[in-house]
Structure 1
Amino acid sequence: MKMDSRKMRKELEQRLAASNRNITYDRDKDQLRIENTTAGKGITISLPGIIANWHAHKEKAIDEVVYYVEEGLKAMEDKVQLTNHEKNIFPVIRSTSFPSEAEEGVSFLVDEHTAETKIYYAIDMGKTYRLIDSRVMENEGWEEKRIKEIALFNARSLPTPLKEDSVAGNVFYFLNSNDGYDASRILNKGFLNEMQKKVSGTMVLAVPHQDVLIIADVRNDRGYDVMAQMAMSFFAGGHVPITALSFIYEDGELEPIFILGKNK
């Protein structure tokens, strides 16, 4: 079966239809907007990316988008509270192309990270989280500095369970706890420095999507090729993709590298 924008649009419209929702389609941008008419807010999704994901994962790709939209719209109805919920504030990593403001023109709390990534801040609401924006900060009377300090402290407190694999004389470590903050562990300098002590070659990291952090102990040229292929594969399969590029970790700094894979 071939999937195109018309079929994907019809499928999503059927699955996301509800009495308090308005669904509109922007043909020029090939985007579907699902708006909660009660809250007056909505989520815009781009169909080409979902179609590409569908060709790789079939129904799972649609299930993930529906789940993301349903939870996101529910979160918009909930009143966001930072006070007395400090333990639920976390940093999240996004690509530099991710919007820097909410659709209503309210700016998100954002920090620079690398040439490929930015840091956003979120309040965990159980099954989903809501990105913190200027309106939330204003309503709660919170300053940026306080939110960032608490979020980074919480990120450092997250567990770091690793799975290990060896390929062609190189060692790869995978952090994939599926708590929504796997990529955020890249902000835990203490953890990265401990990993660096274990590495005998070059330490290379990747955050292809929000639910995985890959750390490689690259000991030969083949290791770079394997890392590039892994990062691209995870990037294509993640429902919140970040970047397919990898980073060298040296002297406490992350430097993006482009690896031109030679071997399949």
Structure 2
Amino acid sequence: MKMTSIKMKKILDERLAGPAYKTSYNRDKDTYRIAWKESNQGMTITLPNVVAKYNERGEKAVDELVEHVTEALRVMNEEQELTGMEKNIYPVIRATSFATKTKAGEKLVCKDHTAETRIYYALDLGKSYRLIDEAMLEKEGWTHDRIDEIAAFNIRSLNNDYKKDTVAGNDFYFVAKQDGYDASRILNEAFMEEMKVNSKGELAVAVPHQDVLIFADIQNKTGYDVLAQMTMKFFAEGRIPITSLPFIYENKELEPIFILAKNRPTE
């Protein structure tokens, strides 16, 4: 029997039923919304996307969706505190086009990184995380410098294992731990310097999306082309894309590079 949006709505009504929630269906947009009755905080689900996943993966797709929605609603309804949770605070890299305010209008804590990227701060809650806003800082009496120092310390404590691949005489290293902070490791200066010291040629680095950090030890001109194609591919496939532009890492600075086919990059 073919799954439809209406049938999926009925499944979600059953699976997400609860006295504290309210649900609604927008027939025009084919979306399903579930929110807390008291605060009206919630999330909107695009039903055709869920139907497509169901047709491909069956009940498992619904199980994962329900788990994700339940966890997100739980986090929305909790008062998070920073004090006592210092070990769970990490920096996250986002594109400069990423929102600087929450949907509720609260200003997110962030700082400039490069022309392409910005640093935000996340409170890790296990299965999910929450970006830290100014109201949370004020409540705790914390400064921007303090949260930045804590986040920087925690990113240095993470494991930096990588996989290596050699293409056309150039070495590529991929950090993909899938812990939500792969791209954030670009902020670990000691790790960056270690990779620089061990590179034979010019060291380039890329953060195409949240769940990968790519180092490229460029030893010939072809290396730039390979890196450009690789970064673009990862950027297009990423769940949270960041930037398709790689950077040259030199003197502890990141310079975006615009790679022209068969040529050395122009900065």
The yes-or-no answer on 1:225 pairing with 2:201 is no
In 1, the alpha carbon distance for the partners of 2:210 and 2:44 equals 19
Q: Deviations over 1:72-103 (max 9, x none)?
A: 33211222111111100110111111110001
- What is the aligned partner in structure 2 of residue 94 from structure 1? 94
- What is the aligned partner in structure 1 of residue 143 from structure 2? 143
Q: Counterparts of 1:109-188 in structure 2 under 5 Å?
A: 109-188=109-188
- What is the aligned partner in structure 1 of residue 40 from structure 2? 40
Q: Is the 8 A contact 1:12 1:66 kept in 2?
A: no
Q: Counterparts of 1:41-80 in structure 2 under 5 Å?
A: 41-43=41-43, 69-80=69-80
1:94 partner amino acid: R
Q: Deviations over 1:34-90 (max 9, x none)?
A: 54444432346899xx79xx89xx769x78877655533321122211111110011
- What is the aligned partner in structure 1 of residue 254 from structure 2? 254
Please report how far the alpha carbon of residue 262 of structure 1 lies from its aligned counterpart in structure 2 after TM superposition. Answer: 5.8
Please report how far the alpha carbon of residue 250 of structure 1 lies from its aligned counterpart in structure 2 after TM superposition. Answer: 0.9
Q: Name the CA shift for 1:191/1:132 in 2 (closer, same or farther; >3 Å).
A: same
Q: Deviations over 1:166-211 (max 9, x none)?
A: 0000000010111111111000111101100111111111111111
In 1, the alpha carbon distance for the partners of 2:10 and 2:257 equals 42
In 1, the alpha carbon distance for the partners of 2:46 and 2:95 equals 16
In 1, the alpha carbon distance for the partners of 2:32 and 2:259 equals 34
More divergent stretch after superposition (205-214 vs 14-23): 14-23
Q: Counterparts of 1:191-230 in structure 2 under 5 Å?
A: 191-230=191-230
- TM-score if structure 1 supplies the norm length? 0.80
Q: Is the 8 A contact 2:23 2:32 kept in 1?
A: no
Q: Is the 8 A contact 2:245 2:257 kept in 1?
A: yes
| SS across alignment from 1:184 | helix
Q: Name the CA shift for 1:134/1:10 in 2 (closer, same or farther; >3 Å).
A: farther
In 1, the alpha carbon distance for the partners of 2:144 and 2:89 equals 12
In 2, the alpha carbon distance for the partners of 1:259 and 1:25 equals 45
In 2, the alpha carbon distance for the partners of 1:16 and 1:243 equals 35
Q: What stretches of structure 1 of length at least 5 have no aligned partner?
A: 1-6
For this pair of structures, how many residues does the alignment match?
A: 249
More divergent stretch after superposition (73-82 vs 14-23): 14-23
More divergent stretch after superposition (129-138 vs 254-263): 254-263
Percentage of identical aligned residues: 50
Q: What stretches of structure 2 of length at least 5 have no aligned partner?
A: none
Q: Deviations over 1:124-164 (max 9, x none)?
A: 10111110012222332322221111011111111110111
Q: Is the 8 A contact 1:22 1:37 kept in 2?
A: no
Q: Name the CA shift for 1:199/1:105 in 2 (closer, same or farther; >3 Å).
A: same
In 1, the alpha carbon distance for the partners of 2:141 and 2:12 equals 35
Please report how far the alpha carbon of residue 27 of structure 1 lies from its aligned counterpart in structure 2 after TM superposition. Answer: 7.5
Q: Name the CA shift for 1:70/1:251 in 2 (closer, same or farther; >3 Å).
A: farther
1:177 partner amino acid: K
